[in-house]
Structure 1
Amino acid sequence: MKKLLLSIFTLLFPLFIFAQETAEQSIDDIINEKFGWLTGWFVEGIFYAIPIKEGVGIPWVVVYLLGFATFFTIYFKFINIGGFAKAINTVRGKYDDIDHHEVDPMYGDPTPGGDSIETIKVEGKEGEVSHFQALTAALSGTVGLGNIAGVAIAITIGGPGATFWMIVAGLLGMTSKFAECTLGVKYRDVGEDGTVYGGPMYYLKKGLNEKGLGTLGKILAALFAIFCIGGSFGGGNMFQANQAAQIFNDVAGFSGGASGLIFGVIMAVFVGIVIIGGVKRIASVTEKVVPFMVGVYVLAALVILGVNFTSIPDAFSKIFEGAFAPMGVVGGFFGVLVQGFRRAAFSNEAGVGSAAIAHSAVKTKYPASEGIVALLEPFIDTVVVCTITALVIVITGNYVDVGGASGVQLTSNAFASVLPWFPYVLTVAVILFAFSTMISWSYYGLQSWLFLFGKTNRNVVTYKVLFCIFTIIGASISLGAVTDFSDAMIFAMAVPNLVGVSILLPRVRDELAKYVSAIKANK
């Protein structure tokens, strides 16, 4: 009897301690404290800042991403500029006819092992979605809070000059996207039913094995998949649901955990409806939602710029002058690349490898065709949308005296100074941005989950149920430590990804030559 009582006490004692702590602290605080203690070392390691001067530093992972992006841009002779016209023409279908040609005997099968040509049975082409659908699916995972909140934070810290460095980072990131998305298509797996499985996990494993680095490839692929799953549950899901719930509650005047829980359940239902249908349904949704939400946001911005068109030259003057002032260079890099891009995984996620998962599902025989299309993603996300946001903030002067406002609220104030009703539009935009980001990241995480645990229906259902549960949790409570950890996981994806991409650059170059030759032969 004594042993039984002792056993029961031993099992219940931790619950008594937790209950006592809960009475003194909120559950959010307790989880933050415990989770932060367990994962703090990882977060600090990923975001360790290289000192620039006293009190200012840049995380090494930022330097890592920009360094590789610069190298790739030089290696491919500024394809981010030279390939821009081809990207537009590929998206609008000008070169679709070349996909009906036979496989070039000089280059052979576009995917190693013959898995793509022999097993694909989707509408007579390799892949599941069109170039435009793949682009919007990837854009839906990047266009979001970084374009709204991150830009405001960057300008508040670095001044108008931060915008210049944002554009530079976006232009360099275009080449990173080209390289990783080309590899994503080249080394994808295609099941007998036509389902595509692709992304860095596959090109790290298969591509490095071709180079005689099989063991390294397996290790890097497994690390990437683990990081991607963590990022999909956190930054790609919980954080998005939390931010959407917060702005909705603020505008609607709701408060308390119950409203967040209800919002989370509703959001989870809509997310579940979309992701159950797989990448085809995700693509069919994003091809409608992304142009709509970007169009509404950009239209509102253009209205403000139109009303203040005489101030646009002065705004650009402030941007260029500030970019090369000491505060612009240091504060701009610090503000944009650290604060702004961190909150949305570097906004366009160039070099992280996530977009290669979405782009790998495209219908094409030429991997470089989708790499070319991927060039447009950082351009639209960072160079266009972020720059328009920055111009609105600079023109309205809402970065000078912020009065405690930051992020989304600062951007909202800038728009509301001309369009008083804009906070309501922004609420809809943020919810749509969050929703589209979540469904894209569900696909990224699912692909990584299946890579690690096997391509079975049970694993598919398990992951999707877990994803929806995390949506509800994210909208219900605020977990800073969990968000920090998931951000670190997303950034960590860049480490194995860029190592593999740099080793496989000759393969990317060959695929580019093949696609360019096919275009010339079809004229």
Structure 2
Amino acid sequence: MEIINDFLITLHNYIGGHYWFVFLLLGTGAFFTIYLRFPQIRYFRHAIRILRGRYDKTTDKGDTSHFQALATALSGTVGTGNIAGVALAIHLGGPAAIFWMLLTAFLGMCTKFVEVTLSHKYRDFDEKGMVAGGPMYFMKKRLNITTKKGYQIKTGYWIGGFFAVATILSSFGSGNLPQINSISNSIFATFGISHLLTGAVMAILLAMIIIGGIKRIAKVTERLVPFMATLYFAGAIGVILFNYQNILPSFISIFSDIFTGTAATGGFLGAGFAFAFNQGVNRGLFSNESGQGSAPIAHAAAKAHEPASEGMVAILEPFIDTIIICFLTGIVLLSSGVWKEKMPNQFQKTDIEVLATLYSENNPSDALNLGNHLNRGDKLPLFNGTLYVEKGEIRENVSIIHARSLADDVRVLESGQPYTGQIDVINGKVTNTSNTITFQGTSLIHSAPLTATAFSKSFLGDFGKYIVSIGLLLFAFSTAIAWSYYGDRAVTYLFGARYVMAYRIIFVAAFFFASFTDTTIIWNVSLLTVAFMAAPNLFGLLVLHKEVKSTIRDYWSGFRQEYPNEKTPGE
């Protein structure tokens, strides 16, 4: 597992974790924001009017209403990224990572407007009469190359095919595996219910919903999304108000270290600008999926006679998902202070690193070296050899890094009892332990457990953990529902509608097995699949930038003729 995890991390460093991807993502959003003159601001009120059905027509074709399409798309984005992803971003990059998440969302509002507009314009209907849409369809129809002699090279078909394959992979890597894994971990930590039982129950519920297709999915999400958002919002506000004295310092911490990174504080060993920037952008994309090309698949099903109108509805997604919900989570984490506090926990073996020397974070020199080891690549000597453990205590003078922090009070247990024996370590990685051997101690925590702990730091007490667990269950489950639809539309594009049921069966089976699979590996898989979708989608948007502008111009031209007394943002 460690070898697989290391391979995934290395691959991610050259793809989604590399600066070329970050600049492509932000650059596309910035380009369209300027090129279209800030549509995320100018069209915001108009988008709300469209969402409310003010301009609907009985002749509009599609499978869902504007609100149902938005709810389905939001159910796909409002998930573990809002609870676990924000916590992971702060854990890795410090408070400044939240700023880069917000900036990604602001630019992403424009990117999502563009990708939904194009996808809705070129949607199809499958052999069963259901809408089949998404970026793969505008790629197939508009990204072909015509030679000087009039021959057409079907490059768009192959680019669309690559995107469809990436969508299927991402339906597992983003919408399936990390969602149920976060659910089962949270339910186990809060209620003590086994991962296996949680996975089995949730898999059955998932199957009952997705077999009904987009119409049943839309009916579930239009009720589920408002309920879960209200529940989570109320709980977050309660935590923030309880820690009111930390609200202003939390705001300042987000914006004060944007270009410098965050210094070491508490158990947090610091993070440079590059780390905060990269993690904020990547987690922002994982949360709101702007530019990834997933939400256009849901919006393509909406009843609308003008593609630009549905694109405007999509502007609201990153605003709700990231600028409201993720920002709230960030303030909860920062105001509670738990993001920099070490806590008792069981260590993920893939997240353990054994250093060859004993270090103390109370020693300024050691703290600086540890921070550089984690953030700058100035590697400290790693332990190689055998650790001798006696009654749970490691006898060698080594340091254990876990969750990017120096672990304290480390104990080794076997089936819950103090372990006596030997543990082999190669290049700082534990290699030969069985699943019955666990490491426990105090260290930083991240992802959903960190958010759950933050919610308990209020008048809610332990009940705050229940809000996070229930919220995570609803958020993550709704994400899996939406992504099953994205995947089955990709299957339809590649193979036809007759293979959709086979895909759904595999999707549900994977959902069950992921409930008891290592979290670290799942997160790294999801990061890769995001990049595989986003790259061809962003490329297609940039190629068709002139068509986007003309489509919007046509929309406003027709709108003024039909509604001469309506105030418009103007074109």
> Which band: TM-score by shorter chain?
0.7 to 0.9
Distance in 1 (alpha carbons) for counterparts of 2:274 and 2:329: 18
CA contact 1:185–1:370 (8 Å) conserved in 2: yes
1:92 alignment counterpart: 52
- In terms of mean alpha carbon deviation, does 385-394 or 125-134 score higher? 385-394
- Counterpart residue number, 1:422: 464
Q: Who is 1:74 aligned against?
A: 34
Q: CA deviation at 1:414?
A: 1.8
Confirm or deny: 8 A CA contact 1:220 1:497 kept in the other structure: no
The AA in structure 2 aligned to 1:150 is: G
Q: Which amino acid aligns with 2:308?
A: A
User: Is the contact between residue 196 and residue 516 of structure 2 (CA under 8 Å) also seen in structure 1?
Assistant: yes
2:260/2:273 contact within 8 Å kept: no
Name the TM-score, length of structure 2 as normaliser. 0.74
Partner SS for 1:347: helix
Question: By percentage of residues, which structure has more strand?
Answer: 2
Residues 1:358 and 2:398 aligned together? no
**Paired residues of 1:140 and 1:436 also in contact (CA < 8 A):** yes
C-alpha deviations, 1:46-92, integer Å up to 9, x for none? 2453xxxxxxxxx4322221111111111111111111111111111
Q: Which of 242, 247, 268 in structure 1 is aligned with 2:181? A: 242
The residue aligned with 1:449 is: 491
CA contact (8 A) 1:166 1:337 kept: no
User: Compared with structure 1, are the counterparts of its residues 317 and 479 closer, same or farther at alpha carbon in structure 2 (3 Å cutoff)?
Assistant: closer
Query: Secondary structure in 2 aligned to 1:265?
Result: helix
Query: Structure 1 residue 168: deviation in Å?
Result: 1.2
Distance 1:242 1:307, change over 3 A: closer
Q: Equivalent residue for 2:550?
A: 510
- How far apart are residue 520 of structure 1 and its match? 2.5
Aligned: 1:400 with 2:340: yes
CA distance in 2, matches of 1:298, 1:182: 30
Q: Is the deviation greater in 366-375 or in 66-75? A: 66-75
Q: Give SS of 1:351's match.
A: coil
Three-state SS of the structure 1 residue aligned to 2:140 is helix
Amino acid across the alignment from 1:302: I
The share of aligned pairs that are identical, in percent, is: 41
CA distance in 2, matches of 1:432, 1:267: 11
1:357 maps to amino acid = I
Q: How does 1:312-323 map to 2 (within 5 A)?
A: 312-323=247-258
Q: Which residue of 2 aligns with 1:267?
A: 202
Task: Measure, in 1, the Cα distance between the counterparts of 2:172 and 2:231.
Answer: 28
Match of residue 518 from structure 2 = 478
Q: Which residue of 2 aligns with 1:23?
A: none
Q: CA separation of 1:344/1:228 partners in 2, compared to 1, >3 Å: closer, same or farther? A: farther
Shift of 1:211: 7.4
Question: Structure 1 pair 480/387, CA: closer, same or farther in 2 (3 Å)?
Answer: closer
Report the CA distance between 1:125 and its aligned residue.
2.2
Higher deviation after alignment, 80-89 or 36-45: 36-45
1:231 & 1:472 partners in 2: Cα distance?
17
Measure the CA separation in 2 of the matches of 1:382 and 1:82. 19
Partners in 2 of 1:315 and 1:486 — Cα distance?
29
Deviates more, 1:407-416 or 1:461-470: 407-416
Distance 2:258 2:8 in 1: 36
Structure 2 match to 1:18:
none
Q: Is the 8 A contact 2:167 2:487 kept in 1?
A: yes
CA apart distance, 1:391: 1.6
**Normalising by structure 1, what TM-score?**
0.80
Contact 2:29 2:107 in 1 (8 A): yes
2:314 match: 374
TM-aligned CA deviation for residue 231 of structure 1:
1.2
Q: Which has the higher contact order (CA 8 A, sep 6+)?
A: 1
Amino acid paired to 1:375: I
Change (3 A) 1:132 1:475: same
State the partner residue of 1:46.
15
Contact 2:104/2:285 (<8 A) preserved: no
Q: Separation in 1 of the partners of 2:145 and 2:560?
A: 29
How far has the Cα of 1:264 moved from its partner?
A: 1.6
Residue 72 and residue 466 in structure 1: after superposition, are their counterparts in 2 closer, same or farther (change >3 A)? same
Secondary structure of the 2:174 match is helix
Relative distance call for 1:512 and 1:373 in structure 2 (3 A) is same
Equivalent pairs, count: 451
Post-superposition offset of 1:330: 7.6
Which residue identity does 1:233 align to in structure 2? Answer: F
1:42 and 1:135, CA in 2 relative to 1: closer, same or farther beyond 3 A? same
Q: Quick one: distance in 2 between partners of 1:216 and 1:41?
A: 30
What is the CA–CA distance in structure 2 between the aligned matches of 1:360 and 1:368, rounded to whole Å?
11
Query: C-alpha separation between the residues in 2 aligned to 1:341 and 1:237?
Result: 22
Q: Is the 8 A contact 1:345 1:487 kept in 2?
A: no
CA distance in 2 between partners of 1:360 and 1:170 (Å)? 21
Report if aligned partners of 1:157, 1:332 keep a CA contact under 8 Å in 2.
Answer: no
Unaligned runs of 5+ in 2: 264-269, 344-443, 566-571
RMSD: 2.5
Residue matched to 2:434: none
Which residue number in structure 2 is paired with residue 177 of structure 1? 112
Structure-2 residue corresponding to 1:435: 477
CA shift in 2, pair 1:372/1:438, >3 Å? same
Deviations 1:442-481 (A, max 9, x none): 111111111111222xx02111111111111111332754
